[in-house]
Amino acid sequence: MKTWNIDTTHSEIAFKAKHLMISTIRGVFNKFEGKIIANNDTFNDGHITFSVEVNSLETRNPDRNGHLLNPDFFYVEKFPTLSFSSTSIKRVADKLEITGDLTIKGVTKQIEVEAIVKGTNKGMEGEKVTAFDITAKINRQDFGLVWNVTLETGGVLIGEIVQIEAFIEVKEA
């Protein structure tokens, strides 16, 4: 078995959601860690785990950050981390089809994740580095993130669907 650790210096975990039904608001989590354990470089049948410090959330708006961290959304005082643990990884050409358990605000749901393998190269210290572009969509309400406001013109302030995007480099340990 081999282990690859997420290189947090060269990785990003981001999310985006609809605002006012017409625009998109983005945010990132700045503190996270994770690893992949697999038999070989294809990562087929491997296992991925990662965790995120919710308090590291950043949307470039202090008021919005504070609201997202309070009990209306992530409730960071009670649920300081969110996590993912894969239950299945299947390599299909240059993609990984990943199924796993995502836990947000104490609620665990199975989700599907697609990871496009961007390539493998040697890092600055001679280690193997592999990069992935990862996407997933979740319904935030499934995880207890239900706060919203109905607009007088119809619709809601914040969309239910959140797209997760991660640009990850892993280094062979």
Instruction: Tell which CATH architecture fits domain 2-172.
Output: Beta Barrel (2.40)
Could you read off the pLDDT of 1-49 as tens digits, one per residue?
999 999 999 999 999 999 999 999 999 999 999 999 999 989 999 999 9
For 39-94, write each residue's pLDDT tens digit.
Answer: 998 999 999 999 999 999 999 999 999 999 999 999 999 999 999 999 999 999 99
Q: How far is CA 33 from CA 2, 6, 21, 39, 103, in A?
A: 17, 6, 33, 21, 15
Q: What is the pLDDT of residue 51?
A: 98
In the chain, the N- to C-terminal Cα span, in Å, equals: 11
Nearest CA to 163 among 133, 131, 126, 137? 137
Mean pLDDT of 149-159: 93
